[in-house]
Amino acid sequence: MDMKSVMFVCRRNSCRSQMAEGWVQAIGAGKIRVVSSGLEASRVHPTAIEVMATAGIDISGQTSNALAEFAPADFDAVISLCGCGVNLPEAWVLREVFEDWQLDDPDGQPIAVFQRVRDEIRDRVVALVDRLTNP
């Protein structure tokens, strides 16, 4: 079986998509290739780095990338984390798996919001990895 590839996409690729990438790297290591991007690139949010570190996952080496740097055909699954799926070019939403998780944006919110969103992403990533690796 070929290893599946997942693209997480969000508006700025700074919080939610970065946390999702980190979770898949940890939970799906050796089973799933993962990348995250944004409709525009920005930075990896320091609070996202902090809350992931408290969960034992280091995302400090990840980079913020623009979706335009990637080709849809390279990915089996595309997951939008912010409701931005309606703004994606059609080729992205027509992948084998497309989901729009529409999670709260923790940017500018108290750390408790970052922690809640981190945990919501973890739970969804666990289910996603299971679906993609156990068809």
Instruction: For the chain, give the DSSP string.
Output: -PPEEEEEEESSSSSHHHHHHHHHHHHSTTTEEEEEEESS-----HHHHHHHHHTT---TT----BGGGS-GGG-SEEEESSSGGGGS-HHHHTSSEEEE------TTS-HHHHHHHHHHHHHHHHHHHHHHH--
**From the candidates 10, 32, 49, 129, which is the catalytic residue?**
10
> At 87, which amino acid appears?
N
Q: Is 82 a catalytic residue?
A: yes
Q: Is 84 one of the catalytic residues?
A: no
Q: Which of 15, 82, 84, 117 is catalytic?
A: 82
Tell me which residues are annotated as active site.
10, 82
